[in-house]
Amino acid sequence: MDLKITTLAGKDAGKLKLSEEIFGLDPREDILARVVRWQLAKKQQGTHKTKGRAEIARTGAKMYKQKGTGRARHHSARAPQFRGGGKAHGPVVRSHEHDLPKKVRALGLKHALSAKAKSESIIIVDELTMKDAKTKVLVANFEKLGLSNALVIGGAELDQNFKRAATNIPNIDVLPIQGINVYDILRRGTLVLSKAAVEALEERFK
């Protein structure tokens, strides 16, 4: 699979052959869904908490005598049916993480990249560098490339000027190649890869 390389200014910079094993697969939604669910579960804080009846600061004395009142038999006012009582089966602090095999995670990344390639939503840029950290200049460059909602993946080290300029642009995410992930690829409309990022991906999946 051949894709043309462009510069940030929108000029032609040759062509690049992409690996069919990474960018040419038939995307499987079930694998993508599994990886996204795994990512979001790992991200979830799990700090939700309510107090059970054992944690309520209230007397444990019997509310009223057992017999003779004509009312139901109750003991503690901390029981869930009373106002101010503990919550029955409420949420507790826990981790939502679950395991997903490394091979499935790697396959999910390949399928996400292939999905973008299949929908022609990948742009290869030769270098993600700027002389000055000017957001206005970068916005103009992105307009030439037709980018309004994109994930930009650079090499192992991001150019600081480019990173600073892109920080204030809405719907544009910038990550180094180590941070590439299925969820961010799928949540943005276009995937922008630098030449260094493509080389790193092909090296990673050798």
Angle between helical axes of 135-145 and 160-167 (0-180°, round to 10): 80
What is the token pair recorded at 206? 């050798």
pLDDT of residue 177: 93
pLDDT of residue 15: 86
How confident is the prediction along the chain (206 residues), in pLDDT tens digits per residue?
788 888 887 787 788 888 889 998 999 999 999 999 999 999 999 999 999 999 999 988 999 999 999 999 999 999 999 999 999 999 999 999 999 999 999 999 999 999 999 998 999 998 888 888 899 999 999 998 888 899 999 988 898 999 999 988 999 999 999 999 999 999 999 999 999 999 999 999 88
Q: Determine the Cα–Cα distance for residues 75 and 36; give it in Å rounded to an integer.
A: 48
pLDDT of residue 88: 95
Residues 6+ apart with CB under 8 A from 105: 35, 38
* CA atoms within 13 A of residue 47's CA, in its CB half-sphere: 2
C-beta pairs of 195-199 under 8 Å, 24+ apart in sequence: 195/5, 195/16, 195/124, 195/125, 195/126, 195/127, 196/154, 196/155, 196/156, 197/153, 197/154, 197/155, 198/16, 198/18, 198/124
pLDDT of residue 52: 95
pLDDT of residue 40: 96
Q: Determine the Cα–Cα distance for residues 36 and 62; give it in Å rounded to an integer.
A: 51
